[in-house]
Amino acid sequence: MKKWMQFVVLITSVSSAGALLASGGGGEEGGGRQLPPVANAKWKAECSSCHMLYHPGLLPERSWQKMMGGLDRHFGENAGLDAPTRDEIARFLAANSADKLDNRRSQRINQSIPASAVPLRISETAYFKDKHNEISPSTYKRKSIASPANCAACHQGAEKGDFSESLVKIPR
């Protein structure tokens, strides 16, 4: 083959291989990698006034149950709700919790939590710590981030349940 044709074949093969490898999104092996979109009007209205909207697939049902049973002491603040609203949100969270969803991230979060543990903080799960082990404590103290609870500061798709690495942008 002529030299230039060899070159074109080489470039084409490398590009195709690269494209195939990069298309990692994946829906082929059971659940996809990202959390599925979920919606509930009361959840959105009541659970994102003070912090970003945390997808129910980030914690197991027992964690949500414990949280919804103690809203008057919600991480040091009173987040009390009337019983019907609280119950509806609790049902929604339970139905879409990490132990119910089949996407890979929820599965991994769930498996990283010992059966006897009932974490309220996503950031205290082994999965979270492992995924963030390259982030120094001082990074979290940046004014633009403030704490590990502020997922949306770095994860641009956080409120949609999309924590893919390609959407991570750590602010200064």
Residues at the interface with other proteins (CB under 8 A): 48-52, 72, 75-80, 145-147, 149-150, 153
Q: How far is the CB of 3 from other proteins (least distance, A)?
A: 58
- Of the pair 59, 145, the CB lying nearest other proteins is at 145
Q: How far is the CB of 150 from other proteins (least distance, A)?
A: 5
For residues 102 and 135, give the distance between their C-alpha atoms in angstroms, rounded to a whole number: 28
DSSP 89-144: HHHHHHHTSTTT--SHHHHHHHHTS-TT---S-GGGSHHHHHHTTTS-HHHHTSTT
Q: How far is the CB of 81 from other proteins (least distance, A)?
A: 8
Q: How far is the CB of 105 from other proteins (least distance, A)?
A: 22
- Of the pair 79, 90, the CB lying nearest other proteins is at 79
What is the 8-class DSSP label of residue 48? Answer: S
- Of the pair 40, 150, the CB lying nearest other proteins is at 150
Q: Are 152 and 52 in contact (CB under 8 A)?
A: yes
